Amino acid sequence: MRSPIYVAIDTPELDRARSIAERVRNHVGGIKLGLEFFSANGRAGVREMADLGLPIFLDLKLHDIPNTVGKAIQALRPLKPAILTVHAAGGRAMMEDAKAAAPTGTKVVAVTVLTSLDGSDLSSIGLAAEPQPQVERLTALARDAGLDGVVCSGNEVAAAKAAWPDGFFVVPGVRPAESGHGDQKRVMTPRQALDNGASILVVGRPITQAADPDTAARAIEATL
């Protein structure tokens, strides 16, 4: 079975991205490319990474009016990514247009509450401090809009899955026990996140910043 780990290769440097991907390829199920990589390398860079043969998760977290998000996804169609992200807070019509514009076979998943936010951050933007009800509300909205799944932390994934048993659940903010949290606030170990119902795990710096990314990816895989 393919590893549930998607390695988040967050770098603007194409050569470095390719080198990390080549080193970890036997211990991950796919590659996640986000805003940092895409802003520097664009669609051509994504194509080069796709040539390595692993599924591509294109994480652009689109969040705009429905027409703009739909047209942006149309422009991405030739890349045929395995997974694409939008922000659930963009609303139901935006998510519907996102799904309608995506290629067949691309999973469109909605980010609920970023894993970098804790209760006090949520209060500061006018939301209730408890993340779980917000994750549950946005998960139901994403399901009703016809998306394929959501992104949430390992703390909320069990509740989200209870509301959407056949949804696809992406869990970032994953940290092996001995790893630093960096800017992540709602974190969980890879094993626990899988046990709670994650479909895939997004792991970035614990692998990409390790002295030996291959060994780090292998060590995480061994805990699953």
Ligand X SMILES: O=C(O)c1cc(=O)[nH]c(=O)n1[C@@H]1O[C@H](COP(=O)(O)O)[C@@H](O)[C@H]1O
Question: Can you give the binding site for ligand X, defined by CB under 6 A?
Answer: 8, 10, 34, 59, 61, 85, 111, 114-115, 151, 172-173, 182, 184, 202-205
Q: Which of 15, 61, 71, 107 is catalytic?
A: 61
68 assigned to a ligand binding site? yes
For ligand X, give the closer residue by CB, 17 or 114.
114
Cα-flanking dihedrals φ and ψ of residue 60, to 5°? -100, -5
Q: Which of 15, 64, 107, 118 is catalytic?
A: 64
CB of 144 to ligand X, least distance (A): 20
For ligand X, give the closer residue by CB, 50 or 135.
135
Place of tokens 């549930």: 4
In the bound state, the residue with its beta carbon closest to ligand X is 204
How many CA atoms lie less than 13 Å away from 192 in the CB half-sphere?
14
192 assigned to a ligand binding site? no
139 assigned to a ligand binding site? no
Q: Which of 59, 99, 107, 161 is catalytic?
A: 59
Report the C-alpha gap between 6 and 190 in whole angstroms. Answer: 11
CB of 58 to ligand X, least distance (A): 10
Report the C-alpha gap between 24 and 17 in whole angstroms. Answer: 11
CB of 3 to ligand X, least distance (A): 15
212 assigned to a ligand binding site? no
Active site residue 59: yes
32 assigned to a ligand binding site? yes
CB of 64 to ligand X, least distance (A): 16
Binding residues for substrate: 10, 32, 59-68, 115, 175, 184, 204-205
Binding residues: 10, 32, 59-68, 115, 175, 184, 204-205
Q: Which residues are catalytic?
A: 59, 61, 64
